[in-house]
């Protein structure tokens, strides 16, 4: 009766829980999760569970309608640091996940206790190891794994672990359609829906760019995969053609010193600048007339949409997997081959030297960015929740059937191995009889 009362009183409204690595830190997954959680909070009860907490307040603003629940407090002086389980290695969180060293047995136990006691209708994980926590938990709620990284960005060892655990989930949600297709092809998951839902990129609170500033912007972590070296080499062509144009690179990371050395070596000091971290980035994009990405790979391409929101056209490498689903080439931006410095430079110059083209593409980019408004994406998730709930019995049957087939296949393979061990597939007693007959003949 108590459960029935709860369902009736919340008719049409769900409790949705997100599990995050660290909601108190800065990162793309934190930002996109907060955007989605805030949009869902318009219609549902939303809770964010942070696996750890290293500071008093989150770096990003959290919608006051969202409940934030930290599991393990790692701040200096915290009682959690003295808990014996904190000194032990995590067991449930997979070793193959590169964040394993940041998890402890205490995290395992807290996550398990939370999942066993929570009354959520939907639980959504936001990184591979956390998705394993959800797969190991109770089946009461819909269990959904969000993949913010590409399938191919995971090490083979981790993909093997995920293939085993993701079979127990209700759905896997990727950021792009291309990545969803990769999962369907390379990680068959019977009874599990694999769908793509893009990130929400809300409307910005700044005036759009008017396209007149001679500024090119780029943003992201200063790491090799972002290929800022290629961008700087391509920018040399722009600087040579019109020395008044400036390149501003926003972000922090391990490549800072190397990139500064490259800027100096290319003679770009004063024209190309490392600007450090800026949050929110939209205010910086609105002061630019062009945003460029030279990445080798992007699971989505959040900064591309943020730039388009500001009315700024984007030049991006056509890398796997996000940019081609965001940019319509020669309409609201440009797509160029990966690591092709000449093509990147030519695309930048086309827009730098043509004011009308730059402004028309900027206007088209701003209109195109409405695809990432909160409402259509929340609608997509609500349809997914309803479909998953309605189809749950059928998916359970599909999983059981596939497990039975898997058991049968393994049994046959084991039998064949035993037969080969007994003599190339022949019964030993028959082999001996045939040998005796041959001798007698």
Contact 266, 240 (CB under 8 A): no
Does a structural domain hold residue 202?
no
End-to-end CA distance of the chain: 84
- Here the tokens at position 161 are 């672990």
Domain around 107: 2-196
Residues 190, 273 share a domain:
no
180-222 tens-digit pLDDT: 999 999 999 999 999 999 999 998 889 999 999 999 999 999 9
| Three-state secondary structure call for residue 408 | helix
d(CA 297, CA 313): 19
CA distances from 387 to 190, 193, 392 (A): 16, 10, 8
Going by pLDDT thresholds of 50, 70 and 90, the confidence category of residue 413 is confident
The span from the CA of 19 to the CA of 22, in Å, is: 9
The pLDDT tens digits for 165-183 are 999 999 999 999 999 999 9
What pLDDT score was predicted for residue 406? 61
State the DSSP code for 90: P
Residues 186 and 290 in one domain: no
Q: What is the CATH number of the domain that holds 352?
A: 3.40.50.2000
Average pLDDT for 111-134: 97
Query: pLDDT tens across 28-79, in order?
Result: 899 999 999 999 999 999 999 999 999 999 999 999 999 999 999 999 999 9
Single residue among 323, 344, 372 that ends a domain in this structure:
372
Total count of domains within the chain = 2
Q: Are residues 169 and 225 in the same domain?
A: no
Q: What is the DSSP string of 298-312?
A: BSS-HHHHHHHHTT-
Residues 131 and 26 in one domain: yes
Q: Which of 196, 228, 252 delimits the end of a domain?
A: 196
Among candidate residues 318, 345, 372, the one where a domain is terminated? 372
Q: What is the pLDDT of residue 3?
A: 36
Residue 377 belongs to some domain of the structure: no
Inter-residue contact 423 to 431 (CB < 8 Å): yes
When pLDDT is averaged across residues 417-434 and rounded to a whole number, the result is 58
The pLDDT of 86-103, averaged and rounded, is 97
346 within a domain of the structure (yes/no): yes
Asked whether 321 and 179 are in contact (CB, 8 A), the reply is yes
Query: Bigger pLDDT: 299 or 419?
Result: 299
| Helix, coil or strand: residue 203 | coil
Concatenate the DSSP letters of all residues of 343-355 into one string.
Answer: HHHHHHHHHHS-H
Whether residue 110 has pLDDT greater than 80: yes
Do 94 and 140 lie in one domain? The reply is yes
Average pLDDT of span 372-384: 96
Instruction: Please name which of 98, 102, 97, 70 lies closest in space to residue 86, comparing C-alpha atoms.
Output: 102
104 bridge partner residues = 89
Are residue 137 and residue 285 in the same domain, yes or no? no
Which helix (H) or strand (E) segment holds residue 45: the answer is strand 45-53
* Residue 396 pLDDT class (50, 70, 90 cuts): low
Residue appearing with tokens 């085993």: 164
Q: Calculate the alpha carbon distances from 175 to 17, 146, 302, 412 in Å.
A: 19, 8, 10, 39
Of 142, 151, 145, 143, nearest to 180 by C-alpha is 151
119 contacts 6 by C-beta, under 8 angstroms: yes
pLDDT of 8 over the 60 cut? no
Do the strands 142-147 and 122-125 form a parallel or antiparallel pair, or are they unpaired?
parallel
Residue 321 domain flag? yes
């Amino acid at each position: 009766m108590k459960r029935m009362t709860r369902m009736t009183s919340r008719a049409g409204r769900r409790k949705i829980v997100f599990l995050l690595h660290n909601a108190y830190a800065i990162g793309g997954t934190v930002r996109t999760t907060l955007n989605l959680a805030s949009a869902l909070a318009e219609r549902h009860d939303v809770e964010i569970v942070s696996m750890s907490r290293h500071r008093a307040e989150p770096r990003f603003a959290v919608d006051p309608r969202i409940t934030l629940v930290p599991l393990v407090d790692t701040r200096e002086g915290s009682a959690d640091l003295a808990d014996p389980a904190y000194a032990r290695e995590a067991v449930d969180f997979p070793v193959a996940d590169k964040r394993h060293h940041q998890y402890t047995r205490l995290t395992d136990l807290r996550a398990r206790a939370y999942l066993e006691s929570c009354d959520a209708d939907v639980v959504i994980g936001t990184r591979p190891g956390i998705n394993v926590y959800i797969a190991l938990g109770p089946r009461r709620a819909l269990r959904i794994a969000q993949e913010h990284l590409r399938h191919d960005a995971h090490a083979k060892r981790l993909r093997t672990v995920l293939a085993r655990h993701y079979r127990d989930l209700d759905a896997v949600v990727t950021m792009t359609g291309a990545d969803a297709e990769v999962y369907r092809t390379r990680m068959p998951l019977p009874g599990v829906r694999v769908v793509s839902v893009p990130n929400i990129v809300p409307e910005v609170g700044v005036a759009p760019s008017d396209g007149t500033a001679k500024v090119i912007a780029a943003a992201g972590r200063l790491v090799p995969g972002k290929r800022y070296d290629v961008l700087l080499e391509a920018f040399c062509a722009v600087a040579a053609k019109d020395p008044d144009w400036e390149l501003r690179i926003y972000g922090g990371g391990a490549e800072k010193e190397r990139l500064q050395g490259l800027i100096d070596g290319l003679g770009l000091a004063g024209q190309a600048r490392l600007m450090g971290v800026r949050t929110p980035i939209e205010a910086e994009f609105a002061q630019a007339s062009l945003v460029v990405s030279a990445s080798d790979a992007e699971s989505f391409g959040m900064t591309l949409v943020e730039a388009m929101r500001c009315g700024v056209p984007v030049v991006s490498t056509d890398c796997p997997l996000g940019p081609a689903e965001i940019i319509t080439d020669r309409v609201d931006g440009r797509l160029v081959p990966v690591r092709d410095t000449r093509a990147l430079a030519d695309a930048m110059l086309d827009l730098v030297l043509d004011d009308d083209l730059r402004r028309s593409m900027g206007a088209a980019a701003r209109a195109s960015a409405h695809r990432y408004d909160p409402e259509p994406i929340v609608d997509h998730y609500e349809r997914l929740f309803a479909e998953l709930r309605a189809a749950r019995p059928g998916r359970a049957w599909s999983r059981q059937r596939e497990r039975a087939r898997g058991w049968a296949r393994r049994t046959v393979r084991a039998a064949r191995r035993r037969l080969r061990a007994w003599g190339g597939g022949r019964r030993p007693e028959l082999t001996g009889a045939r040998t005796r007959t041959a001798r007698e003949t």
